[in-house]
């Protein structure tokens, strides 16, 4: 809220303004809402990434044993979140990045690259929805 007082004295104009800062931008609510929205966005992207990766593996794995697919999980990891296979011993081989991929016909499924590309496509829209919902609360 702003209040302006003006007075004309002996041909001069003296103006004084007083401004009171209040509301969500000034009392910290907006800052906290954005922080919460960022944390929720990271968590949501990681969880969706784990789902995308499991779904992709479900379509490409020839022998359906759930052991590797179900090891895919989203976990909090400093400074954010990550999707990983819990250090499964044959994870790099299935992805195509292991040392054995150079010496065998199997070149891997490239499921990490696929998931990364899909998440790049979906992340902006997902984050925008989350930020919008947090800002509406403020």
* pLDDT for res 37: 93
- Closest among 47, 17, 41, 101 to 7, alpha carbons compared: 17
Which residue bears the tokens 């979906």?
122
Question: How does pLDDT run across 97-119, given as a tens digit for each residue?
Answer: 999 999 999 999 999 999 999 99
Reported confidence tier of residue 41, pLDDT bands at 50, 70, 90: very high
Could you tell me the pTM of the whole model?
A: 0.77
- Closest among 108, 132, 137, 129 to 48, alpha carbons compared: 129
Q: Is the pLDDT of residue 15 over 80?
A: no
Mean of all residue pLDDT scores within the chain: 87
Burial class (CB in 10 A: 0-12, 13-18, 19+), 2: exposed
Spatial separation of the C-alpha atoms in residues 19 and 4, rounded to whole Å = 9
Question: How does pLDDT run across 49-97, given as a tens digit for each residue?
Answer: 999 999 999 999 888 778 888 899 999 998 889 999 999 998 999 999 9
* pLDDT for res 4: 55
Q: How far is CA 3 from CA 13, 15, 17, 20, in A?
A: 16, 11, 6, 9
* pLDDT for res 1: 54
List the chain domain ranges.
Answer: 28-137
> Can you say whether the dihedral through the CA atoms of 115, 120, 121, 124 is positive or negative?
positive
3-state secondary structure of 12: strand
């Amino acid at each position: 809220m702003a209040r302006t007082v003006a007075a004309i004295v002996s041909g001069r104009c003296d103006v004084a303004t007083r401004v009171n800062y209040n509301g969500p931008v000034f009392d910290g609510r907006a800052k906290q809402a954005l922080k919460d929205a960022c944390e929720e966005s990271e968590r949501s992207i990681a969880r969706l990434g784990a789902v995308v990766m499991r779904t992709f593996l479900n379509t490409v794995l020839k022998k359906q044993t759930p052991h590797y697919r179900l090891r895919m999980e989203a976990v909090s990891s400093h400074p954010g979140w990550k999707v990983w296979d819990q250090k499964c011993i044959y994870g790099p081989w299935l992805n195509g990045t292991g040392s054995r991929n150079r010496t065998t016909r199997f070149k891997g499924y490239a499921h990490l690259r696929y998931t990364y590309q899909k998440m790049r496509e979906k992340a902006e829209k997902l984050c925008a929805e989350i930020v919008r919902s947090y800002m509406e609360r403020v």
